[in-house]
Amino acid sequence: MGSMIVDGFVIPAIAVRFNAMGNADPLTRAETLFILCGTLIRFLMPMGLLFQGAAMLSWSAAIVGSRGWPLVVGTFGVAGGIALIVAMLAPLPQMREHILLGGIVVLAVWYLALAGLLCAR
């Protein structure tokens, strides 16, 4: 959530503020602020996905005790939560972007499955 706020609100606000200035002197300050925002996003996004993976694991562990489709969704959530937590903690800098996108896809599929369970009731 923090990375989305920085990426969606802070960076455009900085761009608008420094775009209005007539000369190129403040561009070094803008560059410094963009580097800071990029660093914050690179730290906050994996941390947020790690917390969401832990939440997916805990909610799925509660669902697994059911029968039928809830068992399937709970099992997928437990497996996906463990995989997401392990992937976020693994030191793989070359695979970082792929792991983040894969984590977002796993979370989206799990949320869609939960919505299907709720609509089926």
Query: What percent of the chain stands above pLDDT 90?
Result: 17
Domain count, the chain: 1
Picking from 18, 17, 19, 113, the residue whose alpha carbon sits closest to that of residue 66 is 113
Please list the ranges in the chain whose pLDDT falls under 50: none
* Alpha carbons 61 and 57: distance in angstroms, whole number: 6
Range of the domain at 116: 2-120
pLDDT averaged over every residue in the chain: 84
Residue type at 103 in one-letter notation = G
Q: Is 21 left (phi over 0), alpha (psi -120 to 50) or beta?
A: beta
Quote the pLDDT of residue 110. Answer: 92
- Are the beta carbons of 113 and 76 closer than 8 angstroms? yes
